[in-house]
């Protein structure tokens, strides 16, 4: 069984093309079913995310025309599509899949979503019977490799987006975000995004203060929060553990005396202030106060950039782990390749049969050619009957991917001094030549 | 036999210290599990050793510097395991486990030549006195460590550096809780220990015993402890000022410990 991976991603294709090929999660199973019915495809899977569309197929013989399938199904002509496509075969396809699942091929290296997306594709393919033993083996190995990369490197340990950096910092101050109160000053998109992220991570409740009351009410309804009158901002700001500002104010809204008041009323409990407004809403001097932690947009971006650089160095370690995993997968696949073992087993049995016939040659001299032919036929039939069960078990074990069973059967029937390098030779030699000569002598 | 268990505990403390360093600085989950397993094993062997040591001597209190050191190490290891379980942080292990190792190395080398011979040795009150004070020492060590780590984490967050080397530091609020809780527990231990000691001294030696500088230092330490607790609770003292106050109490505690050596009255050999 051979493997072919065809696709395009954020490095090879513009978003306009990627979106034409993108498949909605609910259509994934049906599209995989269509792929399975494409000529030459034995097993198949489609991975469709915002950054990539990849088709993975297992096939026998010639390459199935996956590009044709893409052209037909997504109504994109070959001239437009082909310059952006890449193709990987066998071990290269395995390596690419492992890199994708481990997030080494992602736009943001180390992002955790991709493994879940690969698993969703796998589930969709399984649901329509597109996952056979070969693909099952390959995908399980890819999941193991991805897990190993996650647990043995720090590739996903640090945050690389502004919102997640803010959440990480809040965790470094408060530990858990459970029950923490967030005050949003200004109802801009950025602050809404940061608040959404904090609430998603378990922050307790949301207060919103905005000059335009209607915007505050709209946002409060969206997040099930409470509106604070803008004039009451300083009177109620101490209720919040996390304060996010993003107003269009040309002057500082929060200055050192305000922050001192907050701290006094909070009995010095720490406060995390996030200023994502430009120009800034909070006087940077207040970061000098003990218990106040102020981060503006540049600070958050700088932390994110450092984390991204750290991920790149961890990616090298991850690549080394993946090389080992690819080699391990390849060894396993080789172990399950039972064709040489089948040929060797038949050759060994045939050799024994021939040897017995030769040994009894003297006693068989008196027999007529038709009687000799009968003996020839009986011994061959007997040999085939003896071999039938082990050969079937060997094939079944290989089909199910049971490498241990394959190895056990192989070693149980292995001849001493068997020619492992050229098992087919024995079969070729013994299949007809010597037995034919035995009969022809008479 | 208790020495054998103690030596096993020393080896396990050593291994747990190394595993904790790797787990904390390398942020490796497998090492975290290994570190906790080794620390628990060390604690169990240490506990068995202490129990057997006291059972052999037919008493319930440690006598002699080796035994006291061993008990203090056991209390420190206990505090570390409780903190690791309650606050899900191993970070304190990088201080607590090597400290437990250091405190148990000498006692594991052999029997103590210098022992407390007083007939009071089997008194339950003396057991309460010594255990209470040792628990207070252990708690104060953790409180000071938590306050120091709080300060480092606070400085790091204020300087807006990416996590890097100090990523292992626990969150500020966790360290504040640990510092406060251990401080309260230490205060309870200190109060109970001093109360029991005062009762014994008053009963056996009368007023002369209170001329001992260690006794005065002990009461000074108790007074400082009360102030520290009051200020921390009422003013929400954190960061640098909390470290100053904790360090002051810690210095007083060290002076009390040193007074064992310099005081001519309050010696393990008896008054």
Question: Taking the domains of chain A in order of start, what are their residue ranges?
Answer: 2-152, 162-304, 337-440
Q: Kindly tell me if the per-residue pLDDT of A32 is higher than 60.
A: yes
Q: Specify whether B99 is located in the same domain as B141.
A: no
Contact A307 B171 (CB under 8 A): no
With an 8 Å Cβ cutoff, is A201 touching chain B? Answer: no
pLDDT of residue A181: 92
Touching check for A306 and chain B: CB below 8 Å? yes
CB of B157 within 8 Å of a chain A CB? The answer is yes
CATH number of the structural domain A162-304: 3.40.50.720
Q: Which residues have a Cβ under 8 Å from the Cβ of A182 and sit 6 or more positions away?
A: A195, A198, A199, A203, A205, A206, A207, A240, A241, A242, A243, A244
Contact B236 A266 (CB under 8 A): yes
Percent of chain A with pLDDT over 70: 93
When the pLDDT of each residue in chain A is averaged and rounded to a whole number, the result is 84
Q: Would you say the CATH fold of A162-304 matches that of A2-152?
A: no
Q: CA of A267, closest CA in chain B: separation in Å?
A: 5
The residue to which tokens 């958050």 are assigned: A300
Whether residues B146 and B199 share a domain: the answer is yes
pLDDT in tens, A230-277: 999 999 999 999 999 988 888 899 999 999 999 989 888 899 999 988
Domain count along chain B: 2
CA distance A271 to A245: 13
Selecting from B30, B162, B238 the residue whose C-beta is nearest the C-beta of A291 gives B238
Beta strands A86-89 and A2-9, pairing class:
antiparallel
User: How far is residue A224's CA from residue A218's CA, in Å, rounded to a whole number?
Assistant: 10
B163 and B66 inside one domain: no
Which residues share a beta bridge with A301?
none
Q: Which of B29, B164, B236 sits opposite A268 (nearest CB)?
A: B236
Let me know whether B238 and B254 are in one domain: yes
CATH number for A2-152: choose from 3.40.50.300, 3.30.460.30, 1.10.10.10, 3.40.50.1010. 3.30.460.30
Tell me if residue A205 falls in helix, strand or coil.
Answer: strand
- Other CB atoms within 10 Å distance of the CB of residue A405: 16
User: Residues, chain B, total?
Assistant: 271
Q: B255 is in which domain, residue-wise?
A: 116-271
Mean pLDDT of A67-77: 85
Which range among A24-38, A95-109, A153-167, A235-249 shows the weakest confidence by mean pLDDT? A153-167
Query: Would the pLDDT of A421 be above 70?
Result: no
Pick the residue with more confidence: A2 or B221?
A2
A271-297: per-residue pLDDT in tens? 999 998 878 899 999 999 988 999 988
**Of residues A50, A278, A422, A425, which has the active-site annotation?**
A50
The C-alpha atoms of residue A84 and residue A14 are separated, in whole angstroms, by: 9
pLDDT, residue A294, reads 94
Neighbours of A75 (CB within 10 A): 8
The pLDDT of residue A415 is 60
Quickly state the pLDDT bin for A427 (edges 50, 70, 90): very low
Q: Examine the fold and report which residue of B69, B96, B112 is the final residue of a domain before the chain moves on.
A: B112
ipTM: 0.72
Are B108 and B66 in a shared domain? yes
A21/A163 Cα distance (integer angstroms): 30
0.95 exceeded by the pTM?
A: no
d(CA A258, CA A285) in angstroms, rounded, equals 12
Instruction: Give pLDDT tens digits along chain B (271 positions).
Output: 788 889 999 999 999 999 988 888 776 777 888 999 999 999 999 999 988 888 887 776 776 778 888 888 998 999 899 988 888 888 888 888 999 998 888 888 877 665 556 666 556 677 788 888 888 888 888 888 888 888 888 888 888 866 566 777 889 888 888 888 888 888 898 888 888 888 877 777 777 777 776 777 778 878 878 887 887 777 777 777 777 777 777 777 777 777 666 655 555 444 3
Whether residue A423 is predicted with pLDDT greater than 50 in this model: the reply is: no
Does residue A50 have an active-site annotation?
Answer: yes
Q: Is residue A124 over pLDDT 80? A: yes
> Rg (Cα) of chain A, in Å, rounded?
34
Distance from CA of B155 to the nearest CA of A (A): 10
Distance from chain centroid for Cα A362: 67
Q: Of the residues B79, B112, B145, which one is the last residue of a structural domain?
A: B112
Residues B248 and B264 in one domain: yes
Does residue A95 carry a pLDDT above 90? Answer: yes
Name the least confident of A38-47, A182-191, B148-157, B199-208: B199-208
Peptide bond into B23 cis (omega under 30): no
A302 reaches B (C-beta below 8 A): yes
Q: Is the distance from CB of A84 to CB of A12 less than 8 angstroms? A: yes
Asked if B106 and B120 sit in the same domain, the reply is: no
C-alpha dihedral, A230 to A233 to A236 to A238, nearest 10°: 150
Smallest Cβ distance to A171: which of B28, B154, B171?
Answer: B171
Shortest distance between the Cα of A323 and any Cα of chain B, in A, equals 21
Does one domain contain both B14 and B107?
A: yes
Token representation of residue A130: 């597109």
Q: What is the pLDDT of residue B118?
A: 61
Note the Cα A410 to chain centre separation in Å: 33
Please tell me the predicted confidence (pLDDT) of residue A426: 40
Q: E-assigned strands of A60-201?
A: 86-89, 181-185
Q: Which residues of A touch B235 (CB under 8 A)?
A: 267-268
Co-location of B105 and B156 in the same domain: no
pLDDT band at A320 (very low <50, low <70, confident <90, very high): very high
For residue B237, the model assigns a pLDDT of: 73
Q: Do B145 and B205 fall into the same domain?
A: yes
Domain boundary among B77, B112, B147: B112
């Amino acid at each position: 069984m051979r493997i072919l991976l065809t696709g395009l991603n954020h490095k090879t294709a513009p978003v306009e093309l990627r979106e034409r090929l993108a498949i909605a999660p609910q259509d994934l199973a049906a599209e995989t079913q269509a792929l399975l019915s494409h000529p030459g495809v034995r097993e198949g899977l489609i991975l469709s995310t915002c950054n990539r569309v990849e088709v993975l197929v297992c096939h026998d013989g010639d390459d199935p025309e996956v590009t044709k399938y893409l052209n037909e199904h997504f109504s994109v002509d070959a001239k437009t599509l082909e310059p952006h496509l890449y193709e990987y075969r066998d071990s290269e396809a395995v390596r690419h899949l492992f890199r994708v699942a481990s997030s080494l091929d992602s736009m943001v290296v180390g992002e955790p979503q991709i493994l879940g997306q690969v698993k969703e594709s796998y589930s969709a393919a399984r649901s329509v019977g597109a996952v056979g033993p070969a693909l099952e083996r390959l995908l399980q190995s890819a999941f193991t490799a991805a897990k190993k990369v996650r647990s043995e490197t720090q590739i996903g340990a640090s945050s690389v987006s502004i919102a997640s950096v803010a959440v990480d910092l809040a965790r470094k101050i408060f530990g858990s975000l459970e029950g923490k109160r967030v005050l949003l000053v200004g109802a801009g998109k950025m602050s809404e995004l940061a608040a959404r992220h904090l609430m998603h991570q378990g922050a307790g409740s949301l207060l919103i203060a905005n000059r335009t009351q209607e915007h505050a009410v709209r946002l409060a309804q969206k997040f099930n929060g409470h509106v604070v009158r803008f004039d009451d901002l300083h009177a109620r700001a101490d209720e919040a553990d996390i304060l996010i500002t993003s107003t269009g104010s040309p002057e500082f809204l929060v200055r050192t005396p305000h922050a001192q008041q907050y701290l006094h009323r909070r009995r010095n409990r720490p406060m995390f202030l996030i200023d994502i407004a430009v120009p800034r809403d909070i006087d940077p001097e207040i970061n000098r106060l003990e218990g106040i932690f102020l981060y503006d947009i540049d600070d958050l971006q700088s932390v994110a950039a450092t984390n991204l650089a750290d991920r790149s160095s961890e990616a090298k370690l991850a690549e080394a782990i993946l090389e080992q995993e690819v080699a391990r997968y390849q060894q396993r696949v080789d172990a399950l390749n039972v064709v040489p073992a089948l040929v060797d087993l038949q050759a060994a049995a045939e050799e024994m049969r021939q040897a017995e016939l030769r040994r009894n040659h003297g006693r068989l001299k008196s027999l007529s050619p038709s009687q000799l032919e009968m003996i020839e036929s009986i011994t061959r039939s007997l040999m085939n009957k003896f071999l039938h069960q082990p050969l079937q078990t060997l094939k079944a074990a290989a089909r199910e991917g049971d490498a241990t069973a394959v190895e056990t059967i192989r070693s149980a029937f292995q001849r001493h001094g068997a020619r492992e390098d050229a098992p087919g030779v024995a079969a070729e030699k013994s299949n007809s030549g010597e037995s034919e000569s035995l009969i022809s002598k008479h | 036999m208790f020495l054998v268990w103690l030596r096993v505990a020393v080896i396990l403390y050593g291994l747990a210290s190394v595993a904790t360093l790797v787990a904390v600085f390398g942020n490796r989950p497998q090492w975290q599990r290994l570190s906790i397993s080794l620390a628990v094993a060390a604690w169990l062997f240490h506990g068995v050793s202490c129990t057997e040591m006291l059972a052999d001597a037919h008493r319930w209190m440690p006598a002699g510097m080796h035994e006291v050191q061993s008990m203090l190490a056991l209390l420190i290891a206990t505090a570390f395991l409780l903190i690791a379980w309650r606050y899900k942080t191993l970070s304190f292990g990088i201080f607590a486990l090597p400290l437990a190792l250091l405190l148990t190395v000498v006692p594991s080398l052999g029997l103590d030549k210098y022992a407390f011979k007083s007939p009071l040795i089997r008194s339950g009150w003396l057991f309460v006195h010594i255990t209470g004070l040792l628990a207070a020492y252990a708690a104060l060590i953790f409180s000071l460590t938590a306050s120091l780590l709080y300060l480092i984490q606070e400085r790091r967050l204020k300087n807006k550096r990416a996590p890097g080397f100090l990523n292992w530091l626990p969150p500020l609020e966790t360290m504040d809780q640990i510092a406060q809780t251990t401080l309260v527990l230490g205060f309870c231990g200190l109060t109970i220990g001093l109360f029991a000691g005062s009762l014994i001294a008053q009963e056996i030696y009368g007023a002369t015993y209170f001329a001992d500088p260690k006794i005065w230092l002990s009461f000074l330490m108790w007074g400082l402890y009360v102030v520290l607790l009051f200020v921390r609770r009422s003013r929400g003292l954190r960061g640098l000022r909390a470290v100053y106050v904790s360090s002051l109490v810690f210095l007083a505690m060290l002076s009390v410990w040193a007074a064992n050596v310099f005081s001519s009255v309050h010696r393990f050999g008896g008054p």
